[in-house]
């Protein structure tokens, strides 16, 4: 099939790589304009653009697909289908209707469980036991189109947003190839979403990453995993930001004030929460490298210290 691919981050690049290894023809790649990145804030192409350039594919980076010139340019490609993966632009109806078979989307949740920008992170944060990917026929709504295929996987206790992202990226690309084969065989079975079961996965905001020690330990543990690798949960120690990269809830009770370090040792640093105790295992003080909590306390004891929110 002749495919237009639209995507931007690593998650999308995984799918583009799978399509490049298939029988299908990529006639053009749409991706977000280059953005400043790194300490030098140098303009950097997206992972999808980098892969497209390696394979000498035409790359298009319109700021919008709402103007007529951009839509005519897309129509002139005469594609059979458009595959959209975390592209970052809203597709107007004129674009959705342009390819012969419309537009397919890989969404990183079992729709309609988590619609929106951050389905992987919100699934971990909510304590879901499983998630997956949905191949969806796009319509004008936000992740509301008919489902063509779903693939399920468990959310493991140690999963972070990064590990789950990597697993779902591979699952999504394989599910897409299956759907394309079904499309060629006229064997698609679209299923409408049950809107009454939908939740909105809000975009991650940095301010959400500040730890509120009044919350219970399992809740904080899920949040720390969901916010890794970005924006990474943090608290305040002696006026400095302390990032928490990994932690685990413990089945024990503490009557100390929430945020108090009640134990430290070879297994990590244990902190009283609103309910329960959280063991920090990997942390990073502002301006320092990330380290195991055990290594961190070799240089300074935290026992009895109170970890706070900034405004406390």
Percent of the chain whose predicted confidence (pLDDT) is above 70: 100
State yes or no: pLDDT of 223 exceeds 90. Answer: yes
Q: Please give the pLDDT value at position 258.
A: 97
Q: Copy the structure tokens of residue 153.
A: 């996987």
Which helix (H) or strand (E) is 48 found in, with range? helix 47-54
Residue 311 confidence (pLDDT) above 80: no
Burial class (CB in 10 A: 0-12, 13-18, 19+), 116: middle
Q: How far is CA 197 from CA 115, 163, 215, 300, in A?
A: 10, 26, 27, 49
Contact (CB, 8 A) for 124 and 155? yes
- pLDDT of res. 295: 95
User: pTM (2 decimals)?
Assistant: 0.94
Phi, psi of 44 (to 5 degrees): -130, 130
Neighbours of 5 (CB within 10 A): 28
The residue to which tokens 């079904």 are assigned: 182
Directed axis angle between helix 119-126 and helix 217-226, to 10°? 160
Dump pLDDT digits (tens) for 155-168: 999 999 999 999 99
Distances (CA, A) of 219 to 196, 203, 245, 248: 26, 19, 15, 10
Asked whether the predicted pLDDT for residue 180 surpasses 90, the reply is yes
Mean pLDDT of 24-53: 94
* DSSP β-bridge partners for residue 191: 147
pLDDT at 21 over 80: yes
Inter-residue contact 39 to 109 (CB < 8 Å): no
- Give which of 248, 245, 262 is closest to 218, Cα–Cα: 248
Extract long-range pairs of 42-45: CB within 8 Å, 24+ residues apart.
none
301 burial class (0-12, 13-18, 19+ CB within 10 angstroms)?
A: exposed
């Amino acid at each position: 099939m002749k495919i237009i691919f639209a995507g931007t981050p690593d998650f999308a690049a995984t799918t583009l790589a799978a399509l490049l290894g298939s029988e299908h023809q990529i006639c053009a790649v749409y991706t977000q304009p280059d953005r400043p990145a790194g300490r030098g804030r140098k303009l950097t192409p997206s992972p999808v653009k980098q892969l497209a350039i390696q394979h000498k594919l035409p790359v298009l980076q319109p700021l919008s697909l709402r103007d007529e010139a951009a839509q005519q340019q897309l129509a002139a490609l005469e594609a059979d289908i458009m595959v959209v993966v975390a592209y970052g632009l809203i597709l107007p109806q004129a674009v959705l209707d342009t390819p012969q078979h419309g537009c397919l989307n890989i969404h990183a949740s079992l729709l309609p469980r988590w619609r929106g920008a951050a389905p992987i992170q919100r699934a971990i944060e909510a304590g879901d036991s499983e998630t997956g990917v949905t191949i969806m026929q796009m319509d004008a709504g936000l992740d509301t189109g008919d489902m063509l295929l779903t693939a399920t996987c468990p959310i493991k206790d140690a999963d972070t947003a990064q590990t789950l992202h990597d697993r779902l990226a591979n699952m999504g690309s394989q599910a897409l190839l299956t759907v394309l084969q079904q499309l060629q065989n006229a064997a698609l079975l679209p299923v409408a979403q049950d809107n009454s079961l939908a939740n909105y996965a809000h975009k991650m905001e940095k301010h959400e990453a500040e730890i509120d020690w009044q919350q219970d330990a399992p809740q904080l543990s899920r949040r720390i995993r969901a916010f890794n690798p970005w924006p990474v949960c943090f608290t305040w120690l002696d006026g400095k930001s302390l990032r928490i990269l990994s932690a685990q809830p413990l089945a024990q009770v503490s009557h100390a004030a929430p945020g108090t370090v009640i134990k430290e040792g070879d297994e990590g640093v244990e902190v009283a929460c609103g309910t329960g105790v959280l063991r920090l295992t990997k942390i990073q003080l502002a301006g320092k490298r990330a380290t195991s909590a055990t290594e961190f306390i070799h240089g300074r004891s935290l026992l009895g210290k109170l970890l706070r929110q900034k405004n406390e």
